[in-house]
Structure 1
Amino acid sequence: MGFSSARKSKRAARGFVDTIVPETASGESGSQYSKRVSRREFTQAIQRRARLRRIIVVVVCCVAVAVIAACAGIFAFLGSIDAKLSLKDSDAASALVAPKESGTFFTVVAADLDPEGVANAIAGPDAICLVRVDTQTRAATIVSIPANTQVTLKDGNMHQLREAATQEGDAALVRAVSGLMSVDISHYVKVDAAGIVRLVDSLGGVEVDVAEEVDDPTAGDVYVPAGVQNLDGAAALTLARASNFTDGAEVQAENQRKLLTQVSLRMLGNDTLGFLMGLDGMGDTFQTDMAVADAVALSDALRTMSADSVFGAMLPGYDLIKNDVMYYATSSDEIAAMMELVQAGENPVSQGSVETVDPSSFTITVRNGSGVTGGAAQIAEVLQGKGFKVTETGNTDSFAYNETLVVYKDDAFLPAAQTVVSALEAGRTVAGGDFYTFETDVLVILGQDWKPIA
């Protein structure tokens, strides 16, 4: 063993050894050897770190590729749903108004309930609803609008509301509802019979509290007993189409609102993926202007909404037969009163609704109490044009009536008087008692508040 100096050799001979540096085979000194080994280890460390960086880069790239592929798949999936649900050749978007930032907006839902190939099918939507949605309070109001509601289209003639869609397009239907209800419409949804069946079946059925048994051969082969029922797609469609009830139109509209409510709540009860799968499953039978991303955001905002926060109402009005065609006539004053509650987020039937009857089911006497020449004949013509039976006209003993009165013979004819007030959009109902003498069921006294037709 060699030592680097004579002094260290002598110390080693006496038994004192501080550090032993092995003699290298290369003959290099210890310091040279140490430097060489350090450089090699340093180089190896650098190489190890370089390999580690390359491995990390490869892993990150693989993860990035996987994420990009997943995102591409998601976007492709959402894009396919958007393509399926788009309004396609519908012009409804041209009549829609962007919702305000308040979180409240109105949607028109139009449903064609006639299955493909069914006999005596009527063109156009069979069920039309105006839906107010409030994302802040997680509440909604559904107003049923009969498809035969009387409206005037571009040709200046009277039409059923459904004909707006068949004759002029979806945009005309949206504008007609907007004008009738005096609100801006932000979204439009249309669905057909196959879409209803497919959607309900995809949800595993929906639970509906059926107020009156459904046994209508013209609506479908399914019998639905009264009470809480879990309906599959076929039964749900039958419920929506059935109309042979005592109060046919009102019960049918109520059933349609219940079905729409329960289907919506079931869809909102799904997670985002379940919601998307439900939309995807409906295919081309369900169409809307709303993008899938917006629909998902809306479902997230309303996810905890309950049935107790969904109000429903029937558009106030009465049936009117003109030229052998059945129309549903409305009163702008009654609609305005109802929509005031709807806009406020309140129950539109909480204050009770005005009962109306068939205008041809009772007789009317018209007397002029205003002093306006020809006033009685003029108001009689208006009423007859709306389907009422005016059997007598004349003047009162004096022209001292400041307001128009609609007098009913007894309580049984109060709904008849209310129907007249709704049709005239003027007047106040009054019980006849012993003060008024007339032979008909209702007496209309023309007051000075009546505005003659120019």
Structure 2
Amino acid sequence: MLLVGGGGAAWLYHDLVGGIEQEHVTDKLGTDRPKKLNRSLNILLVGSDTREGDNARYGVGMTGARSDTTILLHLSPNRDQAVGISFPRDSMVKIPACKKEKGGTVPEQFGMLNAAFAYAGPTCTWKTLESLTGIHIDHFVQVDFAGFKRMVDALGGVEICVDKPVNDPRAELHLKAGKQTVKGEEALGYVRARYSLGDGSDLERIERQQKFMAAVVDKATSGSVLTDPAKTYKFLKAATKSMTTDDDLDLAAMRKLADGLKGMSAGQVRFVTVPVERYAPDPNRVQWNEELAKPLFEAIRHDDELPAQTTNPAQGQPAPLAPGKVHVTIVDAGGRDALVNRVANQLRQRGFKVAEKVEKADATPASRLVYAPSAEAQATALARDVPDALLTADTAAPQDGVRLVIGKNGVRLAAPAINKIGGGVKAGRKLCD
């Protein structure tokens, strides 16, 4: 989808769309879905390990298919940022009841994430992620092994970096140390290998895949792939030959997406992994860390578009204070202890200078941000993250900070902005650094 954005080859789409297999999804997803809150676009990207057709050589005698790679690609409302969230296939999750493509229903169950795809195809993975994240997903795109190889070859290969030579006959992977360009079988082996590269875990493989995808973005945006119609057509032809999408991702939707992505550069694309922790019953599996994952999901859900008119700080409006310059004292005035402690920890994680000691006060019905006039800038900065607390100026308040008084109604932290999501792999980085 990112590569479609700068191609300038919309007139070729009619020829390309005919090669895409489409699947009807509406009746399979049901009506109990997360609401779409803004103009952001969320696309489920699935790498299938099917052994059918051109993929038969990768598993003689193997049947069925699972989601070898699962990524939720978030495109901000203004199409100025993209974040890809990887979900480990070994995640233990609750899979909702799903309708099969050829009839019948798979009952609700608990199991590995990639089993959802095996049970009832990409719509079951779609339904599972929506139910777990609360994020509305707009479309899905599925590509198999053969399609992946063709796309990499159409780019002329992708540059990678390995710290030592690799000789892995099982993965058909033989690499020298250092920077090199991989194509076809080598590229597929590089992103799928589990035992000759890294520690053998799925999490390490995800990080390697994210670096590879970042390199793909770099190759596409820095070279002539997006400016040369012939090269663009070659890539898109390779992609659509082994692609399955939902039936709503039609020609008009692709054109609209393409128009919105034309100005996006590699540095505006990042890949992160959903926070996970050890799954106690089975050390070979993981489970999501809900406390850390929730803010990530909320940030994706609430990534509202920027206002039409933005104020330029250089034109007299001071830039908002950074969290590190905001000193916060938390006052418990009737809030629940668990909530008070959680708010304190989350504000520290966001960079605010929160006092270690929580003060006590008589219970009040509503939460407030109490500040002296001299600390108005600090209060304004904190109010962005604590929108429910009433801003209250008080000349008797301390001059050097803000008091967050948590009353009986509690307090809710706003989702962190997409551009504040840290970690992960960012496109535009240098290899071997």
Q: TM-score, normalised by structure 2?
A: 0.54
Does the C-alpha gap of structure 1 residues 91 and 343 become closer, same or farther in structure 2, counting only changes over 3 Å? closer
> Does structure 1 residue 270 correspond to structure 2 residue 226?
yes
Match of 1:196 among 131, 140, 148: 148
2:112 to 151, 160, 164: 160
Displacement of 1:233 after TM fit?
2.2
Q: Deviations over 1:249-301 (max 9, x none)?
A: 22210121222333345456413564344222334412223224433443343
Count of residue correspondences? 273
- C-alpha distance in structure 1 between counterparts of 2:269 and 2:131, whole Å: 24
Aligned equivalent of 2:45, options 109, 120, 126: 109
Question: What stretches of structure 1 of length at least 5 have no aligned partner?
Answer: 1-73, 352-401, 405-454
Distance 1:281-1:247 versus aligned 2 partners, 3 A rule: closer
Give 3-state SS (helix, strand or coil) of 1:305's partner: coil
Cα 1:202–1:292 change in 2 (3 A) is: farther
- Asked whether 1:235 is paired with 2:186, we answer yes
Say if 1:92 and 1:169, in contact at 8 Å, map to a contact too: no
Q: Secondary structure at the match of 1:338?
A: helix
The offset of 1:80, in angstroms, is 4.0
Question: Is contact 1:98-1:186 (8 Å) kept?
Answer: no
1:287 to 237, 244, 250: 244
Corresponding residue number in structure 1 for 2:257: 298
Shift of 1:246: 2.3
Asked if residue 257 in structure 1 is aligned to residue 213 in structure 2, the reply is no
How far apart, CA to CA, are the structure 2 residues paired with 1:240 and 1:92? 32
Determine the C-alpha separation between the residues in 2 that align with 1:303 and 1:209: 29
Alignment of 1:41-120 (within 5 A): 78-88=13-23, 91=25, 94-95=28-29, 103-113=39-49, 115-119=55-59
2: distance between equivalents of 1:341 and 1:138? Answer: 15
Structure 1 residue aligned with 2:138: 186
Q: CA deviation at 1:238?
A: 1.1
CA contact (8 A) 1:147 1:162 kept: yes
Identify, as 1 or 2, the structure richer in helix. 1
C-alpha change, 1:119 and 1:247, in structure 2 (3 Å) is closer
Larger Rg: 1
Q: Report the Cα distance in structure 1 between the residues aligned to 2:182 and 2:22, rounded to whole angstroms.
A: 28
Task: Name whichever of 302-311 and 337-346 sits farther off.
Answer: 337-346
| Residue in 2 that maps onto 1:396 | none
Q: What letter matches 1:261 in structure 2? A: A
Letter of the 1:229 counterpart = Q
Q: 3-state SS of the aligned residue for 2:22?
A: coil
Q: How does 1:45-444 map to 2 (within 5 A)?
A: 78-88=13-23, 91=25, 94-95=28-29, 103-113=39-49, 115-119=55-59, 123-134=65-76, 136-153=78-95, 154=97, 155-210=107-162, 214-218=166-170, 220-225=171-176, 227-244=178-195, 245-246=198-199, 248-264=201-217, 266-267=219-220, 269-271=225-227, 274-289=231-246, 290-320=249-279, 322=281, 326-342=284-300
The answer to whether the Cα contact below 8 Å between 1:213 and 1:225 also exists between their aligned partners in 2 is yes
2:58 match: secondary structure:
coil
Look up the SS of the partner of 2:150 in the other structure. Answer: helix
RMSD: 3.7
Query: Which is bigger in relative contact order (C-alpha 8 A, separation at least 6)?
Result: 2
Is the 1:224–1:239 contact (alpha carbons within 8 Å) kept by the matching residues of 2?
no
Cα distance in 2 for residues equivalent to 1:300 and 1:226: 40
Match for residue 393 of structure 2? none
Aligned 8 A contact 2:48 2:67 in 1: yes
Kept after mapping to 1: 8 A contact 2:43/2:137 = yes
Q: Residue type matched to 1:158 in 2? A: F
Change in 2 beyond 3 A, CA 1:182/1:252: same
Q: How far is 1:191 from its partner?
A: 0.5
Q: 1: CA distance between counterparts of 2:109 and 2:289?
A: 18
Rounded Cα–Cα distance in structure 1 between residues aligned with 2:297 and 2:77: 19
Query: For each residue in 1:385-439, what CA deviation from the matched residue of structure 2 results, as whole angstroms up to 9, or x when unmatched?
Result: xxxxxxxxxxxxxxxxx779xxxxxxxxxxxxxxxxxxxxxxxxxxxxxxxxxxx
Q: Which amino acid aligns with 2:236?
A: L
Q: Which SS does the other structure have where 2:174 is aligned?
A: coil
CA contact (8 A) 1:108 1:185 kept: yes
Give the TM-score taking structure 1 as reference length: 0.52
Segment of structure 1 superposing worse, 126-135 or 207-216 = 207-216
Instruction: List alignment gaps of at least 5 residues for structure 2.
Output: 1-9, 98-106, 305-322, 324-336, 340-433
Sequence identity of aligned pairs in percent? 21
Alignment CA distance shift 1:345-1:212 (3 Å): farther
Once the two structures are superposed, residues 206-255 of structure 1 have per-residue CA deviations (whole angstroms, 9 ceiling, x without a partner) of 2235577655443x222234544322122221121012222632221012
Instruction: Specify whether residues 312 and 78 from structure 1 end up closer, same or farther in structure 2 by C-alpha distance, changes over 3 A only.
Output: closer
**Code of the aligned partner of 1:260:** M
Q: Which amino acid aligns with 1:177?
A: L
Contact 2:161 2:180 in 1 (8 A): yes
Q: Which amino acid aligns with 2:71?
A: C
